[in-house]
């Protein structure tokens, strides 16, 4: 099975020769994986277009486009995962697995219950790390896009983005405790192809009633994710898997 890499350039014509300038992709293809002449590799070009390319010269780092691959690996709806800053490296895990499960974007912001406190300098470094994680996970899972990663320094910078979405859903622990199970399913049935949905998850301490009240004032709906209380790093994956099952499997 051919490995896949994002090359950040327009799709060439079938049969044409071309080079790859993206340093990370070139390093992985020729230094890490030691690609040889004649080896075929899947490359993702701009706009999520995929081509099967044959290695012509490892020294000159050139390829020939063999064919255009038309398969679709993206969710039919655009899902942004929004989380309150979790402890430790949990955001690394959430980013990697959310990418594998089809998220269009992963956002995070400080909630009242967030233990993690990151200043602007740390946020920049953290975001750079998460972008690399998202790139690797997108290549491994054969995505056509790399999810956008955005860390907000302030809570209100997250809520200001709510108007960009067709639906905003809040995974609220109190809804799960009360046995609410219908709103999530109802919301998914109301979504159309290519619509944008934001699903928000709290940090380890959960979402406060004040935060939930603000979310609802901005048009968000509270949803439950079943009878079990899930960890901060598990809930987003459960929701994404449910969305995939609804739109892609059943």
Last residue of a domain, one of 52, 69, 86: 69
Q: Are residues 21 and 64 in the same domain?
A: yes
Q: What is the CATH number of the domain that holds 217?
A: 3.40.1280.10
Report whether 206 contacts 113 (CB < 8 A).
yes
Query: 217 to each of 112, 162, 211, 221, 238, how far by Cα in Å?
Result: 18, 11, 10, 10, 26
Per-residue model confidence as pLDDT tens for the chain (250 residues): 678 999 999 999 999 999 999 999 999 999 999 999 999 999 999 999 999 999 999 999 999 999 999 989 999 999 999 999 999 999 999 999 999 999 999 999 999 999 888 888 899 999 999 999 999 999 999 999 999 999 999 999 999 999 999 999 999 877 655 556 688 999 999 999 999 999 999 999 999 999 999 999 999 999 988 888 899 999 999 999 999 999 998 7
Q: Are residues 111 and 87 in the same domain?
A: yes
d(CA 162, CA 199) in angstroms, rounded, equals 10
Q: Are residues 60 and 91 in the same domain?
A: no
Report whether 30 contacts 21 (CB < 8 A).
no
CB under 8 Å to 45, separation ≥6 — which residues?
7, 8, 9, 10, 11, 12, 51
Q: For 217-227, what is each residue's pLDDT tens digit?
A: 999 999 988 88
Last residue of a domain, one of 17, 43, 69: 69
pTM of the model: 0.92
First to last CA, the chain: 27
Q: Are residues 205 and 245 in the same domain?
A: yes
d(CA 242, CA 74) in angstroms, rounded, equals 15
Q: Are residues 62 and 114 in the same domain?
A: no
Q: Are residues 144 and 51 in the same domain?
A: no
Q: Are residues 23 and 95 in the same domain?
A: no
**Number of independent structural domains in the chain:** 2
Domain assignment of residue 65, given as a range? 4-69
Q: Measuring CA to CA, which residue among 102, 109, 101, 100 is closest to residue 82?
A: 109
Q: For 75-94, what is each residue's pLDDT tens digit?
A: 999 999 999 999 999 999 99
Q: Are residues 142 and 244 in the same domain?
A: yes
Q: Are residues 84 and 193 in the same domain?
A: yes
- What would the two tokens of residue 58 be? 């490892």
Q: Are residues 57 and 103 in the same domain?
A: no
Q: Are residues 195 and 214 in the same domain?
A: yes
Q: Are residues 63 and 88 in the same domain?
A: no
């Amino acid at each position: 099975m051919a490995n896949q890499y994002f090359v950040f350039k327009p799709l060439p014509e079938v049969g044409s020769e071309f080079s790859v300038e993206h340093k990370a992709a070139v390093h992985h293809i020729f230094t890490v994986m030691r690609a040889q002449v004649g080896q075929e590799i899947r490359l993702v070009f701009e706009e999520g277009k995929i081509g099967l390319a044959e290695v012509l010269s490892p020294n000159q780092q050139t390829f020939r486009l063999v064919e255009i691959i038309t398969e679709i690996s993206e969710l039919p709806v655009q899902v942004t995962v929004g989380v309150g800053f979790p402890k430790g490296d949990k955001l690394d895990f959430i980013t990697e697995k959310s990418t594998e499960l089809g998220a269009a974007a992963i956002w995070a912001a400080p909630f009242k219950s967030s233990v993690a406190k990151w200043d602007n300098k740390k946020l920049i470094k953290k975001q750079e790390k998460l972008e690399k994680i998202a790139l690797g996970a997108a290549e491994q899972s054969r995505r056509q896009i790399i999810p956008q990663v955005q860390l907000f320094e302030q809570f209100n910078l997250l809520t200001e983005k709510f108007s960009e979405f067709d639906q905003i859903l809040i995974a609220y622990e109190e809804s799960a405790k009360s046995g609410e199970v219908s709103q999530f399913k109802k919301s998914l049935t109301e979504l159309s192809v290519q619509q944008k949905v934001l699903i928000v998850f709290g940090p380890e301490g959960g979402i406060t009633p004040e935060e939930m009240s603000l979310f609802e004032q901005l048009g968000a709906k509270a949803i439950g994710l079943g009878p079990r209380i899930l960890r901060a790093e598990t809930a987003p994956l459960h929701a994404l898997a449910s969305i995939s099952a609804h739109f892609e499997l059943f």
